[in-house]
Structure 1
Amino acid sequence: MLYDKDIRDPLFDFLEERYHKIRIIEEKQMGRSRADIVMVTEDSVFGIEIKSDADSYTRLNRQVKDYDRFFDYNYVVAGTRHALHIEEKVPEWWGIITAEEIGDQVDFYLLRSPVKNPKLVWRDKMKLLWRPELAHIQQLNQLPKYKQKSKAFVIDKIIERVPQAVLKTQISDELFERDYHAIEDTIRLYKSRKI
């Protein structure tokens, strides 16, 4: 029986082999759900839901709706128990990876490649960024600072003024550069208006 913890590390290797340059962010809150894995590539952000052999489909409908709002592409990684029925449980644009235990190894099979998510909400995707990351995107695109405005206002202005093709790469760049160890200092500097 494959558990979530058995799948994660070998899955990261599988994804790196497939996509080459990636950044993995685990357990990211999005909407009312938590993404098991967020995978960043040079111009896209992928949501990855793991359904191990120990999982059920109880929350999957809600999770699919949240993943579809936030990510360019989505995958579900299904353990052997779910492999036969998973195609019925996720939209046709979701990619499907099956995980199978072979001896002491986990073997992955790409059942279906993901296609561009038609339900992506750009405003929600940009909520994945921290305020200092949004400020850097404003700076890169010579936008006003909007220091006294809300995060939602800033997101709307960026979406309105920056072409999506440019923004896709800039969002990925910010997520690649994110430093969880330095975030407290970064936010403190941002709030004190030093950056």
Structure 2
Amino acid sequence: MRDFDVRQALRRDLDEQHHDDARTRIVEEMGIWAGSVRVDIAVINGELSGYEIKSARDTLVRLPAQQALYSQVFDRVTLVVADHHSKKASVLIPEWWGVMIASMADDLSVCLQEDRPSYGNPAVDALQVARLLWRPEAVAILERHGLVKGFRSAAAEKLCRRLASELPIDLLRLEVRETLKARTNWSRKSVDDKREMAVGVDLDPLRPSACAHAGVGCDR
């Protein structure tokens, strides 16, 4: 069972679940931490939900670091994991994360079954939520709330810090979700001058410099 097979099954299920909801957007490989880390699938509506896939061919070596990053950004997270990984994976993630088990049916299709539901994130980090924005998007939100004076030409990181410090967390999350849903060019990998923002969490203990800067993509 490959990552591609599980991803197709998950995307099909999510498309069916949200097909008649114009308020929902589904994005594959959505970047967080200024684009340096990518979640397999994100669902954006009244919440920001992330889905991380660990197929039978994947290992769990990166999961502890990934969960630390995702847990700062997403309102909900679900781990979609091959059956033989499920017990080990469950102890590596927070209790509020959901778990779906991916297994192979008799006809060789992938079946997904909920093992435990996801719950609301108790500790979203405002700055990491703000860092989901591209620089023009951050400027637009600051302008909308009368906070852009003196910051219009500031670096993206400074804009994000102002948003995180000035807007109530629930309002910030709403603004970011609505901005992400309206975004048209998801092919961009990082946010303007965020390329030199340190990530600060090593995703691969065997490669300590692999994610030293946000402009460098990290393999799963």
Match of 2:115 in 1: 111
- Check 1:91–1:32 CA distance in 2 against 1; reply closer, same or farther (3 A cut): farther
TM superposition score normalised by structure 1: 0.81
| Whole-Å separation in 1 of the counterparts to 2:134 and 2:65 | 24
SS of equivalent residue, structure 2 residue 96: coil
- State the identity %: 25
Q: CA offsets, 1:34-59, max 9 Å, x none?
A: 33324132232222211100111111
Structure 2 counterpart of 1:144, one-letter code: V
Q: Distance in 2 between the 1:32 and 1:92 partners?
A: 26
Alignment correspondent of 1:131: 135
One-letter amino acid matched to 1:118: P
**Counterpart in 2 of 1:180?**
185
1:158/1:112 Cα in 2 relative to 1: closer, same or farther (>3 Å)? Answer: same
> For residues 133 and 3 of structure 2, what CA distance do their matches in structure 1 show?
26
Unaligned runs of 5+ in 1: 188-195
Q: Is the 8 A contact 1:35 1:47 kept in 2?
A: no
CA distance in 2, matches of 1:33, 1:3: 24
CA-based RMSD: 2.6
Contact 2:97–2:117 (CA under 8 A) maintained in structure 1:
yes
Matched, 1:165 2:164: no
SS of 2:45's equivalent in the other structure is coil
Distance across 2 between alignment mates of 1:182 and 1:24: 11
Task: Tell me, in whole angstroms, the C-alpha distance in 1 between the residues paired with 2:108 and 2:131.
Answer: 39
- Partner of 1:80 in structure 2? 83
Q: Is the 8 A contact 2:126 2:172 kept in 1?
A: no
Where do residues 28-67 of structure 1 align in structure 2 (5 Å cutoff)? 28-30=31-33, 34-67=37-70
- Return closer, same or farther for 1:12/1:181 CA change in 2, 3 Å cut-off: closer
Q: Is the 8 A contact 2:129 2:173 kept in 1?
A: no
Q: Which has the higher contact order (CA 8 A, sep 6+)?
A: 2
Secondary structure at the aligned position of 1:166 is classed as helix
Is 1:142–2:141 an aligned residue pair?
no
TM-score between both structures, scaled by the size of structure 2: 0.73
Structure 2 gaps, min length 5: 193-220
